[in-house]
């Protein structure tokens, strides 16, 4: 039985969205206020990026300090709240995460970055089908640049609900929109092998390996596919690679 791939794609999508998002429009009374507000927003976005950098390095106290400060500098900027929500999700504080995501949604209910991030949160707390609804809302926004990742997120979440055929459809859509999404190819290979469609599984497996270095999970999956195809030469090749990894 193969181990399931960790849901790293979901978190990666959130971090990517944070780095790519635009400043939310803030109300202003005059030009001078616009300049001040814009400066606050710029300062807050810088704090967010610094906080995320700390978070990726595992420096959680520093990350929290930066992200809390960002939200206090520009409380009307949705990005600061879903960044802080992401931090709380990382530390498994789902109640505080929800508070921050709700604030982001109240500020920017149609922002695809916010919708995608809230979908990630819902998936993390086990509301899989509801999470897909938010990913779909994000996808429908023509300004959203990460459609492929949102489809991949949808596939990963609905797969946790054991809806394999629906997950496959989302993974195909993900790779159609972004052929660099290795995780989607891995799951397409895995699900195809489970369906005993070994020729398709091999194709997806090779597409995955063009994007990622061989690892234990992918090589074990390759062995399953090779056995299904009765490709004994490939089995021997994969076994050598596995032995090299373990030596």
Tens-digit pLDDT profile for residues 117-165 = 999 999 999 999 999 999 999 999 998 999 999 999 999 999 999 999 9
Closest CA to 205 of 223, 178, 232: 223
Whole-angstrom distance, CA of residue 88 vs CA of residue 109: 20
Closest CA to 194 of 158, 170, 159: 159
Q: Contact 9/152 with Cβ under 8 angstroms?
A: yes
Sequence-ordered list of residues with C-beta below 8 angstroms from that of 172, at least 6 positions apart, any chain = 184, 188
pTM equals 0.83
CA atoms within 13 A on the CB side of 89: 26
Q: Contact 218/226 with Cβ under 8 angstroms?
A: no
- pLDDT tens track for 201-243: 999 999 999 999 999 999 999 999 999 999 999 999 999 999 9
How many distinct helices (H) and strands (E) make up the chain? 13, 0
Q: Contact 189/201 with Cβ under 8 angstroms?
A: yes
User: Span 1-30, mean pLDDT?
Assistant: 35
- pLDDT tens track for 87-125: 999 999 999 999 999 999 999 999 999 999 999 999 999
């Amino acid at each position: 039985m193969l181990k399931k791939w960790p849901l790293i794609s979901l978190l990666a999508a959130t971090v990517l969205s944070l780095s790519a998002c635009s400043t939310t429009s803030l109300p202003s009374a005059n030009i001078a206020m616009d300049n001040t507000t814009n400066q606050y927003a710029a300062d807050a976005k810088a704090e967010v990026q610094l906080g995320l950098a700390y978070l990726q390095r595992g420096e959680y106290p520093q990350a929290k300090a930066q992200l809390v400060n960002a939200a206090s500098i520009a409380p009307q900027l949705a990005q600061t709240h879903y960044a802080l929500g992401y931090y709380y999700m990382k530390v498994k504080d789902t109640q505080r995460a929800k508070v921050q995501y709700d604030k982001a949604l109240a500020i920017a209910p149609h922002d695809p970055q916010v919708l995608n991030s809230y979908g990630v949160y819902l998936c993390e707390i086990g509301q899989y089908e509801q999470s897909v609804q938010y990913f779909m809302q994000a996808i429908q926004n023509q300004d959203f640049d990460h459609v492929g990742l949102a489809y991949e997120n949808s596939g990963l979440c609905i797969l946790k609900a054991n809806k394999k055929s629906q997950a496959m459809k989302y993974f195909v859509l993900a790779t159609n929109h972004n052929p660099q999404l290795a995780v989607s190819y891995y799951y397409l290979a895995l699900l195809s092998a489970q369906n005993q469609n070994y020729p398709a599984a091999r194709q997806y497996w090779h597409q995955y390996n063009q994007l990622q270095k061989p690892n234990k999970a992918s090589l074990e999956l390759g062995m399953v596919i090779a056995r299904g195809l009765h490709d004994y030469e490939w089995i021997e090749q994969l076994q050598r690679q596995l032995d090299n990894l373990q030596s």
